[in-house]
Amino acid sequence: MCFTFELKMTSDKETPSTRTKSDFKIEVHDILPSFSGKYEIEKFLGEGRYGKVAQCLKLGSKEKIAIKIVRKKYTHNGKKEVHMLRQLIGLDLNKHNLVTFIEHFRYRGHICLAFEMLDISLWDLMKERTFKPMNLSEIRVIAQQLLVALEALKRIGLVHGDIKMDNVMLVNHKSQSLKLKLIDFGLAKNVSMLRRGTVMQALGYRAPEVILGLPLREAIDMWGVGCVVAFLYLGTHVYSTQCEYEVLRAIVQVQSQPEDRMLTPGMFTPVFFKKIQDKPPSWRLKTKTEYETTTGTCTIPFNVVGLRRYMLFSLDGMTRFCGGMRDHAEFEDKAAFVSIMKQMLHVDYKKRITPEEALGHRFITLRHFKHDTNSPYVTSANVTIEKCSLEMSSAEYMPFVTPSEPMSLKFVSIPSSDDTSSPDESMGSLDETCAHPTNRPKAAVRRPAANNRPPANNAPTHVHKAASPSSVKRNLPRATSKEDSSGLVEVKCGKTFFKRVGRFFSRMREYPTFMKTSWRHHTAG
């Protein structure tokens, strides 16, 4: 089980290669005694600033367990994670796709956290595939499970705060296909403890409200899930993993600039934006030169779609990736996918889709397939769901109705200029995105996630209480013949778009005949 907690707060002065052996005197074959038994360390799976993760064998039962061994100097961080994990006790962890925490104990002054042994992370899975994009049927079951996890966390008022590819792990890739669990609650917080200006989330998965210093809520986790889902579809990060300015530049370029009502109250808005007038839009994104001059920080260019030839101009343009569409059902599915991506990555956190709404979205429920039940594409989508043997959430979700969103396949070739983003980081390296300030200018110094001291004028956010899960049921999503008002508007808009394109090319084919006729009439006259 490859936890990646060690990458969160690593500094330039302290790396695994510069640490001495004296700060971690635990070796392979050591026996770790706990309250429930003894564990023998078989091998270490990962190492970093916070400590190590070891694969252990529980003596007696011969059960394999993953044990997170925290360095002594970070004992406080270990205690905080234990406190967060204890809040999950009331949840059905298997049903809600959350890692099972077994126990914690001390060994030679180190806090040790024992977890169930899982398989590989989504990052490792994509690396095995040489970062080949997943198909929508696979993405759907992964997104559904992550949304179920978010819905459960929201009900108990908990924010994960570090959702990324490394922190989503497959239970058993061979026997249970895409069954997964969300791990690593080292940066988790109660909603009531979230504070403006707190650094949370790994760059590349960091929500705009975190970067701008706006009030924080559960919506930051939905942004993280959106970034994970987009990665699975594109095979690369949508946003920069090294530079906050480049994250905002990509958001402005691909989606839209945040409205004034978001920018004006932002604690760090002046770091990235320049006020140009009093009436909306009163802000504009600083140029790279302006940003570097005012902050003394060099930007790290980032190509929005990695090594690909074209740069994403809008989220609608995601439909151009991963090949063409074979039938109408696939077109509807891609339209549904783009729709939910827009809602997950909505720049305005107040308008971002909630876990409950997302679980009722047609991309998850497959209601947009009601007229295509005999399509091979629909059959394949249902088979993928069945193969994963998904544990569904106990809540019943209302259909989420989206506004009319015409499909626009907008792309632009990347120009060759100094302001152009460079290709993405090498896809063969570890996803070392870390939830700490990376390339942060001096003007944007913030409170680290571990600091819970609130500003005097910040009121706590309302905490949602857990609901009883036994009163309602939710069936496995399949293509059904039920009437569905959500999604039909968008599909119709998409059809209209392609009909117009078809009429345009039909007229183009008739154009030579028309010109010949017109020329004859002209010469005859």
Contacts 24+ apart (CB under 8 A), 43-47: 45/1, 45/2, 45/3, 46/2, 46/3, 46/4, 46/6, 47/6, 47/16
- Residue 121 structure tokens: 């992370």
As to burial, measured by CB atoms within 10 angstroms (0-12 exposed, 13-18 middle, 19+ buried), residue 428 is: exposed
Q: Are strands 447-448 and 198-199 parallel, antiparallel or unpaired?
A: parallel
Rounded distance, CA 354 to CA 479, Å? 23
Largest CA distance in the chain: 104
DSSP state of 258: P
DSSP state of 121: B
Tally DSSP H helices, then E strands, for the chain.
14, 16
Q: What residue type is 6 in one-letter code?
A: E
Rounded distance, CA 343 to CA 487, Å? 13
Does the annotation list 334 as a binding residue? no
Q: Which residues contact 426 (CB under 8 A, 6 or more apart)?
A: none
Rounding to the nearest 10 degrees, give the CA dihedral for residues 284, 285, 291, 297: 150
DSSP bridge pairs for 54 = 44, 67
Tokens 């392979």 correspond to what residue?
A: 28
> Is 221 assigned a catalytic role?
no
DSSP bridge pairs for 40 = 31, 57
Would you call the peptide bond into 281 cis, given omega within 30 degrees of 0 as the criterion? yes
Q: In 3D, which of 29, 77, 70, 76 has the Cα closest to residue 47?
A: 70
Query: Do the beta carbons of residue 393 and residue 95 sit within 8 Å?
Result: yes
Query: Do the beta carbons of residue 334 and residue 369 sit within 8 Å?
Result: no
Catalytic residue (choose from 124, 162, 333, 431):
162
Per the annotation, binding residues for ATP are: 72
Catalytic residue numbers, as ranges:
162
Per the annotation, binding residues are: 72
